[in-house]
């Protein structure tokens, strides 16, 4: 838990404060002084009475009550200092810069734990250890170079890595991005990224707090906490973007089902961030571009006007926007003609709107006004304007700033001439603006934001399944794959349609199957998990002789206990599945069967529980979605029936979380009916 003593300390002591600013204890002291901290600053250093002109106590016992202690001493001395200050000097906030704790050794981990215990017992808060510190507009408690002074209008940033935090700030500051609270959580001994987000959510005040939160996450230790508070903050009007580096620790377990194999170690992270409404980024530049876009309003629709005096970037931007699902719609009609008449000959207004290298500030103003007032099919504008090399562009950027202030529709500035127009860009940034130097980075960032769904409302879908029956089957089952009978019982109790089936264990039983299932039929070995791989699936069986032949053959297959019979069906092959993913809960996957998953890896992932909107989004987000809709005379399948199956799976898992893997592969879909022809379910009750 964070507290006021950390965020707004009346007094700070630097334990290990030093004259040498090439050491953390010297640098953090200098930063706090340079940052203009207005409270009481002191140092504990046994060798001096003054350090960098700040009062230093040789003996810790001589210091009075202090809100915040920043420790820059060897790990082995930290516990005693924390004990003394927490218990005797009412110190309620600690930042431990020192390394040598759980990241280094077993003993370090024990020491770290003891420190946390003391701080917890005394109701304090801890940032670190092994971090670069914390900074906000009140004080700069970091030992790295001060890149800029945090301001109240800046974004909040929580980083799992100290060095990366600095590099991310270095990527953002030239874009005009400003920071407010910057946390480097180090070993996250008491406060990790999730805990800080929780604090921000629980104490959120829309009139005071930053509405943009950036995260750099190395490992998601508390997925539930992250999901809950990111969702809540987003609903309160915040926008969150995150880089999650590396793959999740939960994902490395071996999986025997198809769904299990598909869900990579990163799937859970992807699903979680999506569900929370967090815009996922994969590089520093991408993160700070998204953050810079967050500083402006977002378009209300997907239609963008690209306004430029240079053709190339406009084309590249148009490509990036289109690829991400946004439109650069044609602009035409009498209003367009009227605008064109006011521009230099050779200009074009059909979108991209190109007003040539000689285009003026006044013309830019006319174009922006027309987009705002006349062109109804435009939701936002991107202005690409560099230096044409002929004249200074101060007037253009001033006008751009004016128009951005009064514009009804958002305007995003792409200013590519970072060398030849650097003075003009500097002047533009001084007006508290962010800008973009690269149109494609901007275009990708904007589409990433627009394609991240808003977190869904928590409403319970009224999906009824027979929970008593499900509970009974699970209770009576053994760990591992359920038998075909148990699988059928679970599907029936969940009202998930499945194909008609018959089972034969003897030749006699096999030969009377045609009385209940018409030819052509399908025979499948019972026992092996992957039946086709062992020659255990025979399609289009037409005669009793074939039944006899394949029955004898299948009974010889290793692990075979009997043979399953089904009618031969046709339709579009779909799949749906579930995979348990440690602390993340259960993932739900869906897609088309066959080559679409095998080769094209075209599938969608959600985090259970899902609601109707998410289920629909999962299906419509498939690249092969057109096949579900029906294409070129090929009938599709009723999407609502598929949605319903996903919702039933989600409901099933809420009742039976012991299901660790479930595969409906394939489901065969024919217009308004979809039914499972192959299903496996694995349970693990110790979980
Ligand atoms: P496995 O996945 O264990 O190899 P399946 O039961 O999924 O076995 O069968 C393999 C493939 O055979 C399916 O992907 C599907 O293409 C086809 N298939 C299975 N059952 C039927 C059926 N009843 N009607 C038509 N095709 C089927
Ligand atoms: Mg199968």
Q: What is the CA radius of gyration of the chain?
A: 31
CA of 139 to the centre of ligand 2 (A): 60
pLDDT tens digits, one per residue of 209-220 = 999 999 999 989
For residue 628, is the peptide bond before it cis, meaning its omega torsion is within 30 degrees of 0?
no
Mapped onto helix, strand or coil, the DSSP state of residue 382 is strand
CA of 535 to the centre of ligand 1 (A): 12
Ligand 1 nearest-atom number relative to CA 531 = 3
Of 414, 443, 454, nearest in space to 325 by CA: 443
Q: What is the mean pLDDT of residues 680-686?
A: 93
CB atoms closer than 10 angstroms to residue 171: 18
Q: Which residue has the tokens 């950390």?
A: 6
Q: Tally Cβ neighbours within 10 Å of residue 646.
A: 25
CA atoms within 13 A on the CB side of 282: 7
DSSP label at residue 49: S
Ligand 2 midpoint to CA 679 (Å)? 7
Q: Which of 36-50, 257-271, 535-549 has the lowest mean pLDDT?
A: 257-271
Q: Which atom of ligand 1 is nearest to the CA of 530?
A: 3
Residue with CA nearest ligand 1 atom 10:
532
Q: Which residue is closest in CA terms to ligand 1's atom 17?
A: 539
575 C-alpha to center of ligand 1: Å? 12
- 568 CA closest ligand 1 atom index: 24
Which ligand 1 atom sits nearest the alpha carbon of residue 573? Answer: 16
CA of 618 to the centre of ligand 2 (A): 21
- Whole-angstrom Cα distance, residue 422 to residue 460? 54
- How far from each other are the two terminal CA atoms of the chain, in whole angstroms? 29
Q: Give dist(CA 75, CA 28) in Å, integer.
A: 17
C-alpha atoms less than 13 angstroms from C-alpha of 319 in its C-beta half-sphere = 9
Instruction: Provide the pLDDT confidence category of residue 108 given band limits of 50, 70 and 90.
Output: very high
Beta strands in 174-248 (DSSP E): 179-184, 212-217, 239-244
Residue 159 DSSP symbol: E
Pocket-testing residue among 498, 539, 565, ligand 1, by greatest number of atoms within 8 A of Cβ: 539
pLDDT digits (tens, 9 = 90+) for 162-184: 999 999 999 999 999 999 999 99
In angstroms, the Cα distances linking 169 to 63, 200, 666 are: 35, 20, 48
- 254: confidence class by pLDDT, cuts 50, 70, 90: very low
> CA geometry: angle at 341 spanning 337 and 345, to 5°?
120
Q: Which residues face 506 on adjacent strands?
A: none
Q: Answer whether residue 1 shows pLDDT above 90.
A: no
C-alpha–C-alpha distance, residues 506 and 184, integer Å:
67
Strands 537-541 and 572-580: unpaired
Torsion angle, alpha carbons of 429, 432, 438, 440, to 10: -170
Smallest CA separation from ligand 1 atom 23, residue: 568
pLDDT of residue 459: 62
Which residue, 255, 680, 251, 261, is CA-closest to 477? 680
Under a CB-based contact definition with an 8 Å cutoff, are residues 417 and 423 in contact? no
Task: Tell me the H-state helices in 435-506.
Answer: 439-450, 467-476, 484-493
Residue 620 CB coordination number (10 Å): 13
Q: Which ligand is in closest contact with the Cα of 529? A: 1
Closest residue (by CA) to atom 20 of ligand 1?
Answer: 677
Cα dihedral 109, 111, 114, 115 sign: negative
Q: Is the preceding omega at residue 609 within 30 degrees of 0, hence cis?
A: yes
| Burial class (CB within 10 angstroms; exposed 0-12, middle 13-18, buried 19+) of 637 | buried
Query: From ligand 1's centre to the CA of 678, what distance in Å?
Result: 6
* 573, two tokens: 């092959």
* 498, β-bridge pairs: 676
Indicate the top mutation candidate among 542, 666, 675, 679 to test ligand 1's pocket, ranked by most ligand atoms within 8 A of CB.
666
**Run of H or E residues at 34:** helix 24-34
Strand 179-184 versus strand 155-159 pairing type: parallel
Ligand 1, atom nearest to 521 Cα: 23
Which one of 677, 681, 682 would you pick to mutate in the ligand 1 pocket, going by the greatest count of ligand atoms within 8 A of its CB? 677
Residue with tokens 């953090």: 28
Q: How far is the CA of 682 from the centre of ligand 2 (A)?
A: 14
How high is the pLDDT of residue 261?
Answer: 67
- Residue whose Cα lies nearest atom 7 of ligand 1: it is 678
Q: Confirm if 173 and 147 have CB atoms less than 8 A apart.
A: yes
Task: With cut-offs at 50, 70 and 90, classify the pLDDT of residue 687.
Answer: low
Residue 2 has pLDDT above 70, yes or no: yes
Residue 265: pLDDT band by 50, 70, 90 thresholds? low
Instruction: Tell me the three state secondary structure of residue 153.
Output: coil
Dist. CA 97–CA 185, nearest whole Å: 10
Q: How far is the CA of 368 from the CAs of 74, 364, 381, in angstroms?
A: 60, 6, 8
Q: What is the mean pLDDT of residues 628-644?
A: 90
Q: Is-above-0.75 flag for pTM? A: yes
Index of the ligand 1 atom closest to the CA of residue 499 = 23
Nearest-ligand number for the alpha carbon of 593: 1
* Ligand 1 residue neighbourhood (C-beta within 6 Å): 499, 522, 524, 530-532, 537, 539, 566, 568-569, 573, 665-666, 677-678
* Alpha-carbon span 39 to 19, nearest angstrom: 20
Q: What is the 3-state secondary structure (H, E, C) of 579-604?
A: EECHHHCEEEEEEECCHHHHCCCCEE
Compute, in angstroms, the gap from residue 130 CA to the centroid of ligand 2: 49
Residue from 484, 487, 522, 594 to probe ligand 1 pocket by mutation (most atoms less than 8 Å from CB): 522
The alpha-helical segments, DSSP class H, found in 279-360 are: 284-294, 311-323, 334-342
Nearest bound ligand to the CA of residue 524: 1
Nearest residue (by CA) to ligand 1, atom 19, is: 677
Q: Which two tokens stand for residue 213?
A: 């939160």
> With 60 as the cut, is the pLDDT of residue 251 above it?
no
Pocket-testing residue among 488, 532, 535, 669, ligand 1, by greatest number of atoms within 8 A of Cβ: 532
Ligand 1 site-directed mutation target among 538, 596, 678, 682, most atoms within 8 Å of CB: 678
Residue 621 half-sphere exposure toward CB, CA atoms < 13 A: 19
Indicate which atom in ligand 1 lies nearest the CA of residue 524. 6
CA-567 nearest atom, ligand 1: 23
Closest-approaching ligand to the CA atom of 574: 1
Q: Looking at ligand 1, which residue's alpha carbon is closest to its atom 4?
A: 532
- Res 260 pLDDT > 70: no
CB within 8 Å of 457: residues ≥ 6 apart: 611
**For range 73-82, the mean pLDDT:** 98
Question: Does the pLDDT value for residue 512 go beyond 90?
Answer: yes
pLDDT tens for 593-625 read: 877 777 788 899 999 999 999 999 999 999 999
Q: Span 452-477, mean pLDDT?
A: 88
Distances (CA, A) of 319 to 127, 378, 411, 572: 44, 17, 19, 33
Which atom of ligand 1 is nearest the CA belonging to 528?
Answer: 3
Largest distance between two CA atoms of the chain: 101
**Cβ-contact 96, 16 below 8 angstroms:** no
């Amino acid at each position: 838990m964070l507290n006021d003593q950390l965020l707004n300390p009346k007094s700070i002591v630097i334990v290990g404060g030093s004259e040498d600013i090439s050491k953390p204890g010297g640098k953090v002291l200098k930063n706090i002084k340079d940052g203009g901290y207005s409270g009481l600053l002191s140092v504990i250093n046994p060798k001096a009475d003054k350090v960098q002109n700040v009062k230093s106590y040789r003996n810790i016992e001589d210091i009075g009550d202090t809100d915040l202690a920043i420790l820059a001493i060897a790990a082995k001395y930290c516990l005693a200092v924390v004990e003394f200050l927490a218990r005797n000097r009412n110190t309620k906030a600690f930042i431990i810069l020192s390394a040598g704790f759980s990241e280094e050794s077993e003993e370090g981990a024990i020491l770290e734990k003891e420190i946390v215990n003391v701080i917890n017992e005394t109701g304090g808060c801890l940032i670190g250890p092994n971090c670069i510190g914390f900074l906000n507009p009140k004080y700069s408690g970091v030992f790295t170079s001060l890149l800029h002074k945090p301001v109240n209008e800046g974004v909040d940033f929580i980083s799992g890595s100290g060095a990366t935090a600095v590099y991310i700030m270095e990527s953002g500051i030239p874009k005009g991005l400003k920071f407010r609270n910057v946390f480097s959580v180090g070993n996250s001994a008491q406060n990790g990224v999730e805990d800080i987000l929780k604090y921000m959510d629980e104490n959120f005040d829309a009139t005071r707090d930053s509405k943009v939160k950036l995260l750099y996450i190395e490992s998601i230790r508390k997925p539930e906490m992250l999901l809950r508070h990111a969702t809540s903050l987003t609903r309160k009007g915040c926008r969150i973007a995150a880089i999650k580096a590396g793959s999740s620790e939960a994902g490395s377990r071996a999986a025997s089902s198809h769904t299990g194999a598909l869900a990579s170690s990163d799937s859970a992270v992807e699903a979680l961030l999506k569900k929370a409404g967090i815009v996922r980024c994969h590089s520093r530049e991408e993160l700070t571009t998204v953050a810079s876009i967050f500083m402006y309003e977002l378009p209300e629709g997907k239609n963008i006007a690209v306004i430029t005096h240079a053709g190339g970037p406009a084309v590249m931007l148009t490509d990036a926007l289109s690829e991400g699902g946004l439109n650069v719609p044609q602009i035409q009609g009498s209003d367009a003609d009227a605008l064109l008449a006011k521009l230099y000959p050779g200009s074009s207004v059909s979108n991209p709107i190109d007003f040539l290298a000689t285009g003026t500030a006044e013309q830019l103003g006319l174009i922006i006004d027309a987009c705002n007032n006349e062109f109804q099919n435009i939701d936002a504008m991107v202005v690409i304007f560099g230096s044409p090399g002929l004249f200074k562009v101060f007037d253009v950027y001033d006008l751009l700033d004016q128009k951005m202030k009064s514009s009804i529709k958002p305007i995003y500035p792409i200013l590519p001439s970072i060398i030849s127009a650097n003075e003009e860009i500097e002047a533009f940034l001084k007006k508290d603006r962010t800008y973009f130097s690269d149109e494609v980075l901007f275009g990708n960032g904007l589409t990433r934001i627009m394609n991240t769904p808003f977190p869904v409302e928590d409403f319970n879908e009224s999906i009824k399944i027979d929970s008593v029956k499900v509970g009974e089957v699970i209770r009576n089952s053994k760990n591992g794959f359920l038998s075909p009978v148990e699988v059928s019982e679970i599907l029936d109790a969940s009202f998930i349609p499945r194909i008609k089936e018959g089972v034969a264990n003897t030749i006699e039983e096999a030969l009377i199957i045609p009385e209940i299932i018409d030819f052509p039929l399908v025979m499948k070995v019972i026992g092996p998990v992957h039946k086709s791989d062992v020659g255990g699936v025979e399609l289009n069986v037409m005669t009793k002789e074939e039944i006899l032949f394949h029955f004898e053959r299948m009974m010889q297959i290793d692990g075979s206990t009997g043979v399953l019979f089904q009618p031969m069906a046709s339709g579009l092959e779909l799949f749906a599945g579930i995979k348990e993913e440690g602390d993340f809960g259960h993932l739900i996957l869906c897609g088309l069967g066959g080559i679409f998953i095998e080769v094209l890896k075209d599938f969608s992932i959600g985090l259970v529980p899902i609601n109707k909107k998410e289920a629909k989004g999962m299906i419509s987000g498939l690249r092969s979605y057109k096949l579900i809709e029906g294409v070129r005379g090929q009938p599709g399948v009723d999407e609502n029936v598929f949605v319903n199956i996903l919702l039933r799976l989600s409901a099933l898992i809420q009742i039976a979380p012991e299901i660790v893997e479930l595969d409906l592969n394939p489901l065969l879909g024919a217009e308004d009916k979809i039914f499972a022809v192959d299903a496996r379910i694995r349970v693990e009750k110790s979980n």
